[in-house]
Amino acid sequence: MLTKDLLRFRSRSGNIIPEFLDNSDDQIVVGVKSLVEGAASVVCASVGDARTQLLEIAAGIGKCGPGIVKTLEDQFEFDELDPEIAVKRWEMIKTAQFCRERHNDREEFRRATSSAVGRPWDDLQRSIYSDLPDARRIKSIPAMSAANVIDRYNVALVKGLLVRAEEVNIKVVNPTIQEKRRLFRALRFHRLTPAIESTIAGKPVFEMQLGGPLSMFGAGGLYGLAIANFFPHVLHCQQWTLMATIPTTSAPSGKRTLRLDQTCGLASTVASTGGHIPPEFKAFAEALQAKLKAFNTAQVQWSVNEETDPIPLGGGRWMVPDFEIAAVTRGKAQKRIVIELFHKWHATAFVERLRELPTLKSDKTKVQFLLGVSKSIADVDEVAKLLRENEKVGVFVFKDFPTPSAVLSTLKKLGLL
């Protein structure tokens, strides 16, 4: 995405108007095409050298040139870093210091150092700080058309604004089943809170309110990054709107509003698939499955699934479980237990879910709910008080990620094992 200094937008009547590039603008297309062709020649160069070369080409495009260069740079694939570079660097520095004390002449010093290390001087200069961002070597650059780069730049511009947003509201109007499933999976992958469903003018609306007064994050933090990376998934939907509150020192109120919808012409930069399951989720599911084997009998077999469907809670509300545990008897699930995790930036959503948990009757949802909450949320006075008042509900606390032992302990406490 674009950094703050590369964001191009106008302010009008309290609104932010992004300065999107037009794919039909011949001057822009020709300029971007020159950049794409120039990018092919920087393979094997360092990032710093490549950036300098591309910025020279981009000078003819205008003020958006550096932003397009950054968009290209985000697509670079790099050589693998030497895992022992820090140790080798220290050894090279000590060797160079030893040679400097014995050779006053620069050329003699270089020859002595190269001989002692066993590598040419130019190679030493390139490699000693090869792990620095600008020194990394470009391995390859994916093939891209000028139109594709322009699309990526426009989306990167929005992402650069969203990562700094205080609150983001996204609505998808009249979503298809495929759109719903895709959005839920993308929300889960990016650790964002699920949507609610309502109706506007007789049409169903999927609404995602990302942020809020109890959210434990700062602008530009991990949560803002998650929102920015989620946004391209919304672009696959046919009808959507976005409204974001962006802090700014240039407005009397200290805030401006970003408003976008499907008419802005943005094209998604992510595949239209539902996304993959994070590796730590798979590892947890496998570990929990192994622990549950001890409770299998001839009649009941326990299973864990990390691919779960959204559960309607009524009133246009949904839950997106992170895991589902099932006790299967004769091929049928007789007992379903779903686990929903709330990480440190999900404080508002956790408080809401905890308050409503006692009302989620099993005869309505046919499932038992378990909530896992980050310790950073559970330690907040207001939340801790709510947990004490709801001791009998299924809640367990985790630090970075839950453990199978914590889940089993909670299941036993509730009499489910």
Q: Strands 15-18, 368-374: parallel, antiparallel or unpaired by DSSP?
A: unpaired
Domain 279-413 adopts which CATH fold? Answer: Trna Endonuclease; Chain: A, domain 1 (3.40.1350)
Residue type, position 54, single letter: L
Please give the pLDDT value at position 220: 45
How crowded is residue 179: how many other Cβ atoms within 10 Å of its Cβ?
Answer: 20
* The pLDDT value given to residue 221: 65
Sign of CA dihedral 218, 222, 223, 225: positive
Write down the pLDDT at residue 194: 65
Q: Please name the fold of domain 163-273.
A: Alpha-Beta Plaits (3.30.70)
Q: pTM for this structure? A: 0.67
Is the torsion defined by CA of 205, 206, 211, 212 positive or negative? Answer: positive
Q: What is the dihedral of CA 354, 360, 361, 363, to 10 degrees?
A: -150
Max CA pair span of the chain: 86
The reported pLDDT for the residue numbered 17 is 94
pLDDT at 152: 95
Rounded CA-CA distance 6/62 in Å is 12
The packing angle between helices 26-39 and 65-73, to 10°, is 40
Q: What parts of the chain have a pLDDT lower than 50?
A: 212-220, 275, 362-363
Beta strand spans in 43-142 (E): 77-78, 138-140
The pLDDT score that the predictor gives to residue 219 is 43
Residue 34: per-residue pLDDT: 92
Q: Would you list the domain boundaries of the chain? A: 85-130, 163-273, 279-413
